[in-house]
Structure formats: structure tokens, C-alpha cells
Structure 1
Amino acid sequence: MAHQAEANHMSPTPSTGGDEPAGKTSMARVATASLIGTVIEFYDLHIFGTAAALVFPHVFFPNLGAAAGIMMSFATLGVAFAARPLGSIIFGHFGDRLGRKKILAITMLMMGIGTFLIGVMPTAAQIGILAPLLIVALRIMQGLAAGGEWAGAVLLGAENAPPGKRGLWAVFPIVGGGIAIALANLTFLGTALLMSDEAFMNWGWRVPFLASIGLVVIGMWVRLKLEETPVFKGEVERHGTAKVPLVEAFRKQPRQLLFAAMVAMATAYVLPYIAGPYMTNYGSNTLQFDRTFILCVATVGGLTVAGGSLLGAMVSDTVGRRRVIMTAIGIGVVWSLVLFPLVDSGSKVVFAIAIPLTMFIGGVSAGPLGAFLSELFDTRYRYTAAGFTYSVGGILGGALPPLVAAAITSAFGGWVFGLLLAGLCLIGALSAYALKETVSGSLEEVTVPSAK
């Protein structure tokens, strides 16, 4: 496809904010604030995913049977994904009009409160159908918050970064996701080692949810000390703010919104989410591996996501975002075809290698995503556009595949589901190819199609 977008430069005279590197202390604070919010977000997501695989079918859906209980548990996981696009619109709107800092404090607080309340939620045996209904309500609240969290955290890094380092400084929210996976599984692993299966099912699963309150306190303290990004302040001084950022984004960059959502689906979600929550369930229930072993493998997987994303981001600052993304997703296409035949061998060694490797491939492909989406959209609606595309990608790549995986693998075998994963990765690679390279551009001079 052609990349014509005969241009209007939204800012003919870029300001120095965003072109001048921030001091070491301020960039360290920015990185910490970017990272800790997504640690909380993804910590919640993965403890919920792990609990959905190991506990929730028995605690909240005990009368549905094993298969239906698992499906309903993952459906509650998917509810948060469904709420994310709305959250990205709401919080993105105010983030583009009021600034990044204020909104990020609100999203973190909402996410933390929701996670804590899940930890004290009565079971179905105690309050009946009200228990799963309340879980769904809390997941909707968390999904709304998550829809506004990731984009704002990415923009903190990207809009403060020195020239040539946006990939590195925008990657910390993605690194935070990998750390959160490891942290969530370590927490579950600790409870599994220190208590019996009966105690874990009765109350031990609550500990990871309740423990999140410490992260929230630290995160709020860091974020409230931040200043607004220089790129946003410069845009407001020169041009004001967009009246309705979402409408302006769809009017000026509809093509970029569509393809960016497909890229986000394939990079940030498809492989990490199948190798994470779904494979936790698959390894436990289908392959009959013990819980301690699975949690150890998943912990290593989280660290490989973090390492892979950091590597992908740093390389993208040199060779370009699209090249890294397309190469990593291309490898993901091939890997998806062999993943299930390998793990279905029943070998613990193979499983212990395959899952972290899957996470690493996903991490490398996702590493450049924060900078790529930041550079792709104009400042006036960047928060809204980046959050919306990331959230839509989450539904397509993070919510739907795990939801249908059990039915497909049980009916047709894992290799058929691998075909589906490969197809999703291929769509993402082609979408990245359809977008322009952004690495050499300025966040203050994004080229957009002429308004009509």
C-alpha cells in the first residue's frame, strides 16, 4: 500500500521540549513512573489469568462443570479487554485535553482498588450468583482503567525521551508487563509452596490480589511527583487541544488506527497471552503437570518477555521499528505452527523451553510498540489513538484466542489452534508493512493526511 499522506505539519516550529534530553534523574523518575503503573496493570491481569486457570472455576463457577467453568473464568478475563477501548476513549480524551499526569494517577488508583476488592470477594458458596456478577463489575472497572493506563505510561517515556532513544524510554511499560508476569507467578508460587492445595483453594489465592496494595502506594507516590511532558505542553501552547480527540483521530488517520490495532494485536498479545494464562491452564489440566512446575516456567517466561522487549526496543532505535516488528512476528508465524505439537509431547523439558521462548519472541516484537504508536499519531490525539489501537488489539489478540482455545484444541487438536495463531501473527506483520517507518520522525511534527 502506498504511504502517501501528503502532509500537513502540525507544528512548523518545534519547541525544544522533547528534543532536548531530560536529565538523568528526571528520566529515571519517568521510567519508574511508566514501569510501575503497568506492573500493577499486568500484575492484576496475570494473577487474574492464573487464578482463572487454577481457582476460579471451582470458587466462582462450581456448578458449571470443568470445561464450562474454565470457559466462564476466561470470559471474565475477557470482560476487562472488552472494556478497554471505552476506557481508552474516556481517559484518552481527558489525557489529550488535560494532560498525561492527572489521568495516570486516576487509572492507577482505579486498577489498584479493583484488584484489592477481588481479593476480598466472597465466593459463590457464600453469596451465590452475586459473586461472579461482582467479579464481572470489578473487571469492567479495571478494564476501563487499563484502557487509559498503557498509552499514558508509554507517552511519559516517549514524550520526555532524548533524540534517538524513544524506543528505549518508551519500552518501560512493556518491560513492566514482563516483570508483572514474573511477579504474579512468583506470588502464586510462594503460596503454593507454603500452604496445602486445600488452603490455597480456600484462601491462599487471595494473597496475590491483596498484596498489590503495596505497589499502588509506591506508584501513586512516584506519579504525583511527575511534571507534564514537554511535548504536550508545547502543543497546548502553540495550538491548544483537540475538542474531541477520537473524532479528530478517525478523521485524519483512520488507516493508521486500523493497521496499528492489528500490529498491537500480534505483538503485545497473541503469543504472550497464549503462553501465559492459557498455557497455565493447558499445562495443568491437559498435560497434568504439577502447579509448582508450571508457575516456575511461567515466572521464567515473564522475565524473558521483559528481556525480549528491552532488546527489541533498543534495536529498533538503530534499525527501525517496522524491521524489528516484522522480523519478530515472522518468526512467531513459524513458531506458532510447531508450539502445540512440541508441548503435546508431554515432556517437561520441552514445556520449560517452549513457553519462555514463546514469551521472548512476543517480547521482542512488542518492544518497539510504545515508540511506534507514539510516533505514528499526532500529539493532539496521541493519547486517545495509541490507547484505542492498543485496546482493540487486546480484544483481538488477548481476549478472543484464549477464549476459543479450549474448544478448538479439544475438538481439532492443538496444531489447528496453532494455525489460528500463525494467521493472527501474519496479519500483524502485513499491517506493520503497510505503515510507514517512524523512527526518524519528530513527535512534534507528525505527518498526517490533509483534512477534508
Structure 2
Amino acid sequence: MTATLLDDSRIPASDPVAPNRSQLRRVIAASLIGTTVEWYDFFLYSTAASLVFNTVFFPDQSSFVGTMLSFVTFAVGFVMRPIGGLVFGHIGDRIGRRRTLALTMLLMGVATALMGALPTAAQVGVLAPILLLLLRVVQGFALGGEWAGAVLLAVEHAPPGRRGRFGAIPQVGLALGLGLGTAVFALLQTVFDAEQFLRYGWRLAFAVSIVLVVVGVVVRLTVDETPAFVAARATLDTTRTPLRQLLGAPTLRRATIAGLLARWAEGSAFNTWGVFAITYATASQALNKVDVLLAVTVAAAVMAVVIPFAGAAADRFGPGLVYGVGVALYGLAVFPVFALFGTGSIVWFTVGLVVVFGLIHGLFYAAQGTFFASLFPTEVRYTGLSVVYQFSGIYASGLTPLILTALIHGAGGAPWTAAGYLVATSVISVVATAWIKRVIRVP
């Protein structure tokens, strides 16, 4: 089995001769709408952690401590994601991708909507941040099974020669979800004054989740199960769990370790430019909050445009090459972008963010799903993809805002040690990507 284990061609297309166009359109809609809603919910929290929660739920702390505590609750979601990845990965590899994805979306939406109804620390004291933390746990658990399933729903339905394009579709949803979340927050801060926004305005962004989730669940339930899973279901080895199969094969263990390292840069990059940069610009550079949110929205919109083209490039040149080149460019761009941030100009801040987040991140993020999906065979693919993405999320994503905040604080406000850390993650991921391509031989 291991001789052909990492051959990307083993991911079956929906129909190599005449793809069902109606079904493919539903797959595209389900992947795009579903991931947009899920990431809107998840990154709505990150934006609120930067702008609201340090005041509403940790009001008695200093600005630095309150921000750090807010980011701690943010990181907790990433700690829960591997647990959700293992649980929903098992379900997805045994029951199917489609129903698993509907369940993760429902859990995510309920948790997000309840966040918008939480009492503040001024109203119920320490119970407020405890409730916030519990809902964040549910969010992280649900999202743990989301990304891998959304990628597989697209990739395993893809026609021949278009897996890169289809694997990029869920990634567009992330850019749209982030952009939608920051745009909603920018709009609410424009409509309400500062006191109204902190008192009740921010809650409206969370309430919107209810409508989005209903639409997303309905769309996902209209999609057929993936051809790859249907073909593999008859021969599944039910005597061993997918996780045991994943850890039991030496080739799969190497693939998993390499994937965990290769994903480090992507996780650190996204949470630097999409999360930490908001706090850095508004607190350290004293830039206007609405302007900063609009800059992130613009960068996310550019990313949403870039991703489909990068997905097409992955089909032509191979997802591993596109991913590796993008990660290397990210490492080269970190110091210049922080220099642009240091000018204190919203124009240069936006330019830097568009380049490093919209263009460069869009390039390698588009290839990521297809690249990592090709590491695993169908019977353990949901679990394997979840392990790589969600376990790396702890150190690569969830801890990044904490690490950067601490490094900059320790350097007296200078960002260069933090920038050095980000470059180091890029180097690690480039080396791991080369290992995957040359030693494990994934395209």
C-alpha cells in the first residue's frame, strides 16, 4: 500500500469523462458559502479580541494585560481544534464528509450567536470571561472538523486536472469570511459612537451568524457524498480507527510530521496579518480602528481574487511548488512590511498588508488544501488533513499573537525580534515543503 500511498492521482475525480455540472456547481457553492460562514464566525472573535473583549470582559486589567488575556481566550480555540479534528476526522472518514460538515457548521453558528448575547464583566463579574471561554472552546471544537472536510468536499469532487482550482475554493471562503467580519465591525463602528459600540453595537455582528448558518447548512445538505469516499466505503478497515492507521504506517507518519512543519509559516502568517496586525496598528501605531479594519478588508478582498488564479497555477505547476514559492516570498517580505507599518501611515500600512496578505498569502494559501490532501489515502484523509492543519494550529496560529505581543513588548516596542520569529517559521516551512516534494514525493 505504501508504494503508491502518496500519489496524488489516487484522489478520484467525480467523473473523468463527463462531470455532472449541476453537482459541481452545488459543490462549489457548498464549499464557498460554508467556509465563508465558518471563518466569519471564527475570525469575528479574533477581531473582537483585538478591539472589544479586552475592555468588555477584562476591564480591570492594564491595556497590555487585558489584550494578552483576550488573546489567551483566542488561543484556546486553537487548542480545542485538534480535538475537534480528531473527533470529526473519525466521523468524516467513517460516516462521510457531507453530514459531518453540516454538524460542524451548526455547532459553530450556535456558539457564535451565543457570544453576542453574553453578559459583560460589569454585569456578572468573573462569570463573563468564563462563559466566553466555554463558547470559544465550542467554536474551536467545531472548526476542528471544518477545514479538512470543506477541502475534501471540493478536491474529491474535482474533475481531472482541476484539483488545484477546486482545492482553492474553500480558501476563498476564508478570505471572504475574514473580509466580511472586519467589514461588519468597521460598519458598526461607523454607525455607532464608541460608547454605543462597546455597549451593544458589537453584538450585532455575532447575531448575523444565525442567518448565515441556516443558509450554509441547507446548501451543504444538498450536495452528494464525494465519489472518493463512496468508492472507499465498501473496503474500509473498521477494525482500526483512522488515527491508528495514520500513526501505524511509517510513510504516513513521515507525511504527517512533514505536513505539520510545512504548515507553520501559513499559520503564523495568517494570524499575524489578519489578527495581530489590527492590534499592532491601533495600539502601537495609533492608527484609526476603522481605517485599519478597512485595510484588512481590502487585503482580504485581494486575497479572494488571487486564490482562484493561484489554484490554477497549482494545477499547472504542482501545488507543492506553488506553496513553497509563496512561503519563501512571505519570509522575504516580513521585514519590509513591518518597516512600512512603522511609518505610522495608513496608506503604507494598507500597501504592506495588500502585498504580504492579499497577494503573497493568497498564493500559497490557495495551494495548501490540495497539497496536504495529497499526503493521505481516502480512508484516513479527513483525519490526516485535520491532524496536520489543526495540531499545527496550536503553535503556528493560536500562539502567534501572544508570541508577537510578548516579543515586541520585551523589545520596548520594536518589531524586529517578532519579525525574526516569523522569518524563522518561513525557513522551517520551506525546508519541510522541499522534504515533502523530494523525499515523500508529493507533487
TM-score, with normalisation over the residues of structure 2?
0.94
Pairwise CA distance, 1:266: 1.7
For residues 62 and 155 of structure 2, what CA distance do their matches in structure 1 show? Answer: 47
Pair 1:274-2:298 in alignment: no
Aligned partner of 1:246 in structure 2 is 243
Q: Is the 8 A contact 2:11 2:156 kept in 1?
A: no
For residues 316 and 145 of structure 1, what CA distance do their matches in structure 2 show? Answer: 29
Aligned partner of 1:96 in structure 2 is 93
Pairwise CA distance, 1:195: 1.1
Structure 1 residue identity aligned to 2:386: G
Q: Is the 8 A contact 1:320 1:437 kept in 2?
A: no
Aligned partner of 1:260 in structure 2 is 259
Structure 2 residue identity aligned to 1:422: V
Aligned partner of 2:334 in structure 1 is 336
For residues 190 and 58 of structure 1, what CA distance do their matches in structure 2 show? Answer: 20
Q: Is the 8 A contact 2:264 2:428 kept in 1?
A: no
How does 1:42-441 map onto structure 2 within 5 Å?
Answer: 42-239=39-236, 241=238, 243-252=240-249, 253-267=252-266, 269-360=267-358, 361-412=360-411, 413-436=414-437
Structure 1 residue identity aligned to 2:283: N
Q: How many residues align?
A: 436
- CA RMSD in angstroms comes to 2.2
Could you say what secondary structure the match of 1:289 adopts? coil
For residues 163 and 239 of structure 2, what CA distance do their matches in structure 1 show? Answer: 24
Could you say what secondary structure the match of 2:208 adopts? helix
Answer with 327-336 or 232-241: which moved more.
232-241
Query: Can you list the C-alpha shifts for 1:38-76, whole angstroms capped at 9, x where unaligned?
Result: 212211222111111111111000111110000010111
For residues 258 and 10 of structure 2, what CA distance do their matches in structure 1 show? Answer: 29
Q: Is the 8 A contact 1:17 1:234 kept in 2?
A: no
Aligned partner of 1:448 in structure 2 is none
> CA separation of 1:224/1:13 partners in 2, compared to 1, >3 Å: closer, same or farther?
closer
Aligned sequence identity (%): 34
Query: Can you list the C-alpha shifts for 1:62-101, whole angstroms capped at 9, x where unaligned?
Result: 1111100000101111111000111100000011011111
Could you say what secondary structure the match of 1:104 adopts? helix
For residues 264 and 385 of structure 1, what CA distance do their matches in structure 2 show? Answer: 13
> CA separation of 1:93/1:185 partners in 2, compared to 1, >3 Å: closer, same or farther?
same
Structure 2 residue identity aligned to 1:336: V
Show structure 1 runs of 5+ residues with no match.
443-452
Aligned partner of 1:445 in structure 2 is none
Q: Is the 8 A contact 1:108 1:220 kept in 2?
A: yes
Query: Can you list the C-alpha shifts for 1:397-445, whole angstroms capped at 9, x where unaligned?
Result: 211111121121122220110000000011111111100379x989xxx
Show structure 2 runs of 5+ residues with no match.
none
> CA separation of 1:9/1:130 partners in 2, compared to 1, >3 Å: closer, same or farther?
closer
For residues 255 and 6 of structure 2, what CA distance do their matches in structure 1 show? Answer: 17
Aligned partner of 1:36 in structure 2 is 33
Could you say what secondary structure the match of 2:379 adopts? helix
Pairwise CA distance, 1:238: 3.8
For residues 71 and 82 of structure 1, what CA distance do their matches in structure 2 show? Answer: 16
Pairwise CA distance, 1:29: 0.7
Pairwise CA distance, 1:26: 0.9
For residues 351 and 190 of structure 1, what CA distance do their matches in structure 2 show? Answer: 20
Q: Is the 8 A contact 2:171 2:307 kept in 1?
A: yes
> CA separation of 1:106/1:263 partners in 2, compared to 1, >3 Å: closer, same or farther?
same
> CA separation of 1:214/1:9 partners in 2, compared to 1, >3 Å: closer, same or farther?
closer
Q: Is the 8 A contact 1:246 1:384 kept in 2?
A: yes
Q: Is the 8 A contact 1:147 1:388 kept in 2?
A: no
Structure 1 residue identity aligned to 2:348: V
Query: Can you list the C-alpha shifts for 1:190-243, whole angstroms capped at 9, x where unaligned?
Result: 111111111011111111111111110110111111111111010112445573
For residues 181 and 438 of structure 2, what CA distance do their matches in structure 1 show? Answer: 35
> CA separation of 1:367/1:272 partners in 2, compared to 1, >3 Å: closer, same or farther?
same
Query: Can you list the C-alpha shifts for 1:333-369, whole angstroms capped at 9, x where unaligned?
Result: 1111222222112122210101121212112111111
Pairwise CA distance, 1:18: 5.6
Query: Can you list the C-alpha shifts for 1:303-350, whole angstroms capped at 9, x where unaligned?
Result: 122223222211010001111111111111111122222211212221
Pairwise CA distance, 1:291: 1.4
> CA separation of 1:17/1:345 partners in 2, compared to 1, >3 Å: closer, same or farther?
closer
Query: Can you list the C-alpha shifts for 1:15-43, whole angstroms capped at 9, x where unaligned?
Result: 87564553222111111111222212211
